[in-house]
Structures are given as C-alpha cells and as structure tokens.
Homo-oligomer: A and B are copies of this chain.
C-alpha cells in the first residue's frame, strides 16, 4: 500500500494543513478503527468526541470546523469527497488484467476499443461497441448493437440488452440488468397481449447502477438516466422513465412507467413512485415514502406510518378505517356546541 505525507495529500486534494505536514499515513479507516498510521475523517462537529478519542494519525476535516484536534488535519470545503479521493490514493483497487480473455465470446463485427479488458465467459453480441479502457467483468452479456462508452467498469454478470447505450465512466454492479423489456401489456378479449418494447435504455455519462438493479428499455421512446445519476441496489426503473442528472436513488426504490424525476433529487430507500408523474428538481423523498402525485416544489416529502409496539398499533390502526366517521363526529360535536 502507498504511504503519503499530509503535504503530498494536499498536493492532490488541495485544502489547508493544520499541524505537522510531514505526518505519514499509509491507509484509511473509520475514527473508531484507525491506527496511528491511518487517515480518517469527520464530516461535522457531531463526531468531535469520537475524533478526539481516535488513534488516527491524521484527519480530513471540514474547513469551517474551527476546533483544535489532537491529530494533524487537512481542512477542505468538501471533506467527504476529499476523503473519497484519499481512499483511492492510499488503497488503490487491485490492478485489472488486460486484453480479452480467451473464453470470452466476442462477435466478429463487435468494435472493441484500445486497452479494453474483457473477462472470462463474457458474451458480446453482433455490432456491439466497447469504448477504450473499459473493463467488462466475468460472465457479463453485452447484447447486439449495444454501445458502451469509454472507461466504463462493468462488474461480473451484468446484462446490457440489445441496442442500449451506456455513456462514459459508468459503473455497473453485479446482476444489473439494463434494457430488459418494459412491462407492456394490452388486454384483448380473454388475455394479455405483449406490447413489444421498441425503445432503448440510455445511461448518460458518469452513471452508477447497483447490484441486481433493473433499468427497463422504453416502449416506444427511450428510458433515460441522465449524467451523474447514482442508483443503489435492487431498484426498478420502468419503461420510459427519466431520472435527472445528479439525482441519487437509494436501494429498493421502484419507479413506475413514464415518470420523470428531476435533477439533484434524493430518493430514500424503498420509496415507491407511481407512473406518469413529474417530480421537479431538488426534491427529497424520504425513505419508505409512497408518491402518487406530481411534486412541483423543491422540498422534503414523506408518507410513512410511525413505528409502534404491535399492541399499540392494533388499537390505533383499527381507527384508521373509521377516520371519516370520526371527523363527522367531531363536526357534529362542534355544531352542537355552537347551538348550546
């Protein structure tokens, strides 16, 4: 593992050093786990007690945190992002093999860019193109005509279906499925007819897609995940959705067909958003929240039941079935009191 002084870290990350700039660190760890040769970080003053007790050799801290700490510090405006860069410097990912593994099945007319790694058992369809420096993990499948931009990292067992388009620097985690058919059904007499899904799934640049997440292809138009959007695991994005740039979506979220999520949104885990809605920019949807109507103003939106002991819940929840009646009883009391 590489070792760097605070001064060397500063050369990469910027910021201001507080304390000994020659302090050497050779790895990263959490405040609780760090040893005197490791770098750690704190995001706000809520972690001050932990920071003071930490054995870490140096810390990355927010520059607006004007507090003495026992450790030498590198102070920056975006401490979490700076720490992310420091992790990449101090604990670089293991190097990846080069070249096309002999067990990969690559169509003769697929275009493979320079310095690409294609792992064991990968299947690349006719007319597909793989951009320069891409790394395609073992047992992934790139369908006919699909396009993968430069510098993408596909982990093992990713599927990109035919004709779909992935921008530059995408990261796709194991089990992700890009461009499966949307759920298009038409009723006819006594059964469902499948509506062929003729659109594509398009991921713009710098998109990350979590493990076992599904981005369906469009029915006629395309499904689009805009630049810089980040999606966690086990998410469903239905056909014709559009997820705005730099929007982050936590795990287990479902977004039904043709819904548009704005830019800079944050969608909490397990939130569910029905179809054909518009969510404007800079909306935060709380975890577990169900969204069934448009959101036209930035802000935080929520719709969850508070947790109760089961016995309490039984007594309270039963009344939810009679809330309308309760309101009428209150109204009638109000009328009577007015009469009196």
Copies of this protein in the complex? 3
The answer on a CB contact under 8 Å between A302 and B306 is no
For the complex, give the distance between the alpha carbons of A10 and B75 in Å. Answer: 70
Least CB distance, A114 to chain B, in whole angstroms:
24
Question: Please, which residues of chain B bring their CB within 8 A of the CB of A159?
Answer: 155-157, 174-175
A317: Cβ under 8 A from any B Cβ? yes
Does A64 have its Cβ within 8 Å of any Cβ on chain B? no
A246 within 8 A of B: yes
A305 to nearest B CB, angstroms?
4
Contacts of A250 in B (CB 8 A): 183, 256
Q: Mark A234-277 against chain B: 1 for CB-CB distance below 8 A, else 0.
A: 10101000000010101110101000000000001110101000
**Residues of B contacting A171 in the complex (Cβ-Cβ under 8 angstroms):** 181, 194
Q: A198-B87, A269-B256, A316-B320 are in contact. Are A121 and B119 (CB under 8 A)?
A: no
Closest residue of chain B to A93 (Cβ to Cβ) is: B196
Q: Complex Cα distance A289/B304, Å?
A: 9
What is the CA–CA distance of A214 and B231 in the complex, to the nearest angstrom? 14
A65: B residues at CB distance < 8 A:
none
A206 at the binding interface (Cβ < 8 Å): yes
A-B pairs with beta carbons under 8 Å apart, 11 shown: A78-B186, A80-B187, A81-B187, A84-B193, A101-B105, A105-B138, A155-B161, A157-B159, A232-B238, A305-B317, A316-B324
